[in-house]
């Protein structure tokens, strides 16, 4: 049995984790360095090397995301878990113009709840429709609701809306694979986790990893 290394600092543990990830993953010279940092962070978050094979990175998403963050774009979240998980101090360290007002999540808004109840639809879908005026130039994080992702994809395909970046990682069994396939038809910068896997923690980790490239 391996000996627990009690004396290691948090920074040392992270660096040792990255060393082991690079050792197990093998050569990554074919990947742009900024994209490898995102992939490595997601492997670190899941402790799963194979997650790299399920990631789809399209149209220089890290570069596009950084440009949008430098402009002070809105960050639109499909769930309160993403909203809570995003570190404002971490963002402000690199992009000091950010405030809580830049991070948008409508899932608990009274009008969204009322509309969802009245129309018999999900709150996530109604929230995605509410943020339609904010989508242009924003970063969109979806870690929970595939219907929200599908609605945003339709805005892109049918109304030529152009978010700066879509991080598409809804999790589950219903509408998940289909919504990811739909967003991958869109010609916008995006990072998609194929298959049923996903979750708010992975969407948050992806955006945090992008900021590491600033």
Note whether 63 and 34 are within 8 A (CB): yes
Which of 28, 30, 44, 58 does the annotation list as catalytic?
A: 44
58 is catalytic: no
- For residue 5, the model assigns a pLDDT of 85
Sign of CA dihedral 60, 62, 67, 69: positive
pLDDT tens digit sequence for 18-69: 999 999 999 999 999 999 999 999 999 999 999 999 999 999 999 999 999 9
DSSP assignment of 60-75, as one string?
SHHHHHHHHHHTT--E
- The pLDDT value recorded for residue 1 is 56
Give domain limits for the chain: 51-211
pTM assigned to the model: 0.95
Cα separations in angstroms, 122 against 33, 102, 113, 207, 213 = 39, 24, 9, 25, 36
Judge: domain 51-211, CATH 1.10.10.10: no
Q: Tell me the pLDDT tens digit for each residue of 150-172.
A: 999 999 999 999 999 999 999 99
């Amino acid at each position: 049995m391996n000996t627990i290394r009690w004396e290691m600092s948090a920074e040392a543990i992270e660096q040792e984790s990255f060393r082991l990830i690079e050792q197990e993953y093998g050569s990554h010279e074919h990947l742009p360095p900024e994209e490898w940092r995102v992939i490595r962070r997601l492997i670190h978050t899941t402790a799963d090397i194979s997650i790299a094979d399920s990631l789809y990175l399209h149209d220089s998403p890290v570069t596009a995301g950084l440009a949008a963050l430098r402009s002070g774009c809105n960050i639109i979240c499909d769930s309160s878990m993403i909203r809570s998980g995003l570190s404002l101090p971490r963002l402000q360290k690199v992009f000091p113009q950010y405030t809580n007002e830049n991070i948008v999540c409508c899932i608990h808004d009274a009008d969204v709840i009322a509309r969802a109840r009245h129309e018999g639809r999900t709150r996530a879908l109604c929230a995605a429709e509410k943020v339609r005026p904010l989508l242009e130039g924003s970063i969109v994080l979806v870690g929970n609701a595939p219907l929200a992702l599908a609605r945003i994809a339709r805005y892109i395909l049918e109304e030529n809306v152009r978010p700066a970046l879509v991080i598409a990682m809804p999790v589950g069994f219903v509408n998940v694979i289909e919504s990811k396939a739909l967003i991958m038809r869109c010609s916008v910068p995006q990072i998609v986790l194929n298959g049923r896997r996903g979750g708010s923690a992975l969407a948050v980790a992806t955006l945090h990893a992008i900021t590491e490239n600033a």
